[in-house]
Structure 1
């Protein structure tokens, strides 16, 4: 399963943080880092996205 889909399910409240970690196969500290990275991805547009015209 795609890690961003699992993290999105956690953020939407469909699964707990523990379940999220179990699905991804990571421990608490690794999961916190993954969540931070995903948050940064959603904050900054990717280089493939065009802004403006």
Structure 2
């Protein structure tokens, strides 16, 4: 499953943070960073109108 879909499901409240971590197979510290990076990426995309290349 696409990581972005799992993170979006968590952000929308469909699954818990623990379920999100289990689906992705990562620890809570890694998960927190992944969710934070996802939020920052969404903010950058909304500001510029284009995805940020990394």
| TM-score class normalised by the smaller sequence | 0.7 to 0.9
- Distance, in Å, in 2 between the alignment partners of 1:31 and 1:24 is 8
Moved over 3 A (4+): none
**Which is greater in Rg?**
1
Query: What count of residue pairs does the alignment treat as equivalent?
Result: 48
Q: Which 5+ residue runs of structure 1 have no aligned equivalent? A: 49-53
CA RMSD across the alignment: 1.3
* TM superposition score normalised by structure 2: 0.83
Highest RCO, 1 vs 2 (Cα 8 Å, sep ≥ 6): 1
Q: Which runs of 5+ in 2 are unaligned?
A: 46-50
Larger proportion of helix: 2
